[in-house]
Amino acid sequence: MNSYSRLLYFVRPYYKRMIFAVFCMIVAAAAYLVVPWLIKNVVDQVLEEKNLLMLNLIVGAIVLIFLIRGFATYGQTYNMSYIGQRVIIDVREAIFKHIQRLSMSYFDRRKTGVIMSNLTNDVAALQSAVVDNLISFITESVTLIGSLVSMFLIDWKLTLVTFTTVPVVLVIINVFGKRLRTAGHDVQGRIADITALLQEVIGAIRVVKSFAREGFEVNRFEAENKRNFDAVIKATKLTSLLSPMVEFSAAIAVAVILWYGGYSVVTGTITAGSLIAFLIYAINLSNPVKRLSQVYGNIQKALAAADRVFEILDTKADVVEKEDAKELPNIKGDVEFKNVDFSYDGEKLALQNFNLSVKAGESVALVGPSGAGKTTLANLLPRFYDVTHGSITIDGVDVRDVTFKSLRDQIGLVPQETVLFNASIKENILYGRLDATDEEVYAAAKAANVMEFIEKMPDGLDTMVGERGSSLSGGQRQRVAIARAILKDPRILILDEATSALDTESEKLVQEALDRLMEGRTAFVIAHRLSTIQNAHQIIVLQNGQLVEQGTHDELLALEEGVYNHLYSVQFSNKG
């Protein structure tokens, strides 16, 4: 029950409401337990002794008891629902905050849809464990204990006879509980797979349609849906079997009570009212046992979701801040890579013995075939990953010795695949610096050539860009991203093939904006089109994670057998 105890940790801030809710549950259950005693008096005193005063008192008591029970039921339901909703919100926020702190490697290993499922489906499944099942657990436990005590008070021998079925019920619950936990894991996993598939297909719907693969994707979805159906049916079968097996055990107990109790009434050992009251308590006993078995099964399934949730919360970041990490002061922009090795998987090196010194204000172009290590360098500088060996310093300060925020606040990234949020153009630019004024946003937009297309839009900077910027063209999205970087005003820039996917006209406008952005800043330019980097202060040629050539455009082009010369010749001949 470790997962459940951890889940209850989230209840602790609301312990006052919980105490009151538990009190209401006890009152509601206790009120129900009084009724059989009243019925006993009806049979033994009202019916046999014709006592009308007792009849009036019992009727009045029943009305009062159920009035109290009604208020108690309201109190338990409202407060537990409140607590349940708060716990779900707190758990979801805890996961989201933790995910924000996890390293990029975590997202490399996980499908986006699975992470989304953890935050939605898995967390939602916890609510039943916190609210509905907890209410049932406490209420039925009070009813169970109260019924047992009352049965002992009426006839302890008959109670011991009833207990002969308890070991059988416990064995059944234990066996089915383990299987339900496993089945619950399978169900939550299948739901996550469906969510991941949906996210993947909807995100790539243009590709799906361009290849006319709608039928293929429908078949994939149907297969995942079928696997989910099979998992749910397996869990349902176990739940459906558990309840009747417990009920059958309870029915045997009732049959024993009827025979032995009836015999005791005939022989005068107990009264008829006592037997009726005992039977009611026995039924009260069987119902809680049955419901508790269902609750146990439901909690086991919910804990399968809890296991997945806590697995995320227990995941440690690969890249962490030092406890004594200091703030990186305003930098000039001198960058040095010293004997840097790096591996994504701990085996194959993506960078090997890499050395590079860049002075503040210089532009460095990173060139090489796919997989050479260009993007890896861009990921290491802002500490998305940590070097396996060696060091990276900025103005002589190791990036591992400073806080993430102070480091990344001074590094701007313009990726090849521009990511915009489903907000206005202004809000997307403001993401670069949230406290910027309207004038500063306008200036950044103008510098990035955003105003060139903004002026044609009726809502101007307040135009909504759609999901991932879908209402804008590729060049427009890229210019908004550049405006965001200009507003951030970083000392170091990383341009990850920022113009490779653009047409000639868009590339010209974007390149103009990039040139303005790079002025006076240290810039690392990952280049696909070599024509865009001819004016770089240094061009670094990478191959298989190693620096194989270094120099200016003219110097590298002069190396007739060089890698850069070959790459340039291939691009030039393709254009021809």
Q: What is the pLDDT along the chain (576 residues), one digit of tens a residue?
A: 577 677 778 888 888 988 898 898 888 888 877 777 777 767 766 666 677 777 778 788 888 888 988 898 899 888 888 888 888 888 888 888 888 888 888 888 877 777 887 787 788 777 766 666 777 777 777 777 877 787 788 777 777 776 766 666 667 666 766 777 677 777 777 877 787 777 777 766 656 765 677 788 888 888 888 888 888 888 778 777 776 776 677 677 777 777 777 777 777 777 777 777 777 777 766 667 667 766 777 777 777 778 888 888 888 888 889 888 999 998 898 999 999 999 988 788 889 999 999 999 998 988 888 788 888 888 899 998 999 999 999 999 999 999 998 998 888 888 777 778 888 888 888 888 888 898 988 888 888 888 878 888 888 888 888 777 777 877 788 888 888 888 888 889 888 876 655 556 666 776 777 777 788 889 898 877 776 677 888 998 888 888 998 988 888 888 888 888 888 787 766 544
Tokens at 381, concatenated: 């500088």
> Which residue, chain included where needed, has tokens 């393709």?
574
CA dist 199 and 119 (Å) reads 14
> Which residue, chain included where needed, has tokens 């070599």?
530
Tokens at 157, concatenated: 């021998």
CA dist 516 and 500 (Å) reads 18
State residue 474's pLDDT score.
Answer: 77
Closest residue by Cα to residue 309 from 514, 103, 530, 130: 130
DSSP 3-state of 335: strand
CB-CB contact of 108 with 344 (8 Å) = yes
| Segments of 248-407 assigned E as strands | 335-343, 349-358, 363-367, 389-394, 397-398
| Segments of 344-438 assigned E as strands | 349-358, 363-367, 389-394, 397-398, 411-414
CA dist 148 and 573 (Å) reads 91
As a whole number of angstroms, the longest Cα–Cα distance in the chain is 120
Closest residue by Cα to residue 91 from 281, 308, 388: 308
CA dist 273 and 265 (Å) reads 9
> Could you report how far apart the first and last alpha carbons of the chain are, in Å?
70
CB-CB contact of 392 with 381 (8 Å) = yes
Q: Which residues of 530-540 are buried (b: 16+ CB within 10 A; e: fewer)?
A: bebbeebebbb
CA distances to 162, 324, 491, 564 from 361, in Å: 87, 30, 8, 24
CB-CB contact of 367 with 374 (8 Å) = yes
For 299, half-sphere exposure in the C-beta direction (CA atoms, 13 angstrom radius) is 24
Closest residue by Cα to residue 428 from 372, 481, 351: 481
DSSP 3-state of 383: coil
Which strands make up the sheet holding 492-496, listed edge to edge?
Answer: 411-414, 492-496, 522-526, 363-367, 538-543, 546-551
CA distances to 154, 328, 359, 521 from 332, in Å: 88, 11, 9, 9
Closest residue by Cα to residue 394 from 377, 384, 407: 407
For 327, half-sphere exposure in the C-beta direction (CA atoms, 13 angstrom radius) is 3
Tokens at 276, concatenated: 């009726």
Tokens at 51, concatenated: 């006592």
Q: What radius of gyration, in Å, describes the C-alpha atoms of the chain?
A: 35
Which residues neighbour 209 within 8 Å (Cβ) at sequence distance 6 or greater? none
Q: How many CB atoms lie within 10 A of CB 431?
A: 16
**Phi/psi class of residue 412: alpha, beta or left (left: φ > 0; alpha: ψ in -120 to 50)?**
beta
Which strands make up the sheet holding 335-343, listed edge to edge?
Answer: 349-358, 335-343, 389-394, 397-398
Q: Quickly list H helices, 204-271.
A: 205-210, 214-266
Which residues neighbour 233 within 8 Å (Cβ) at sequence distance 6 or greater? none
Residue type present at position 495: L
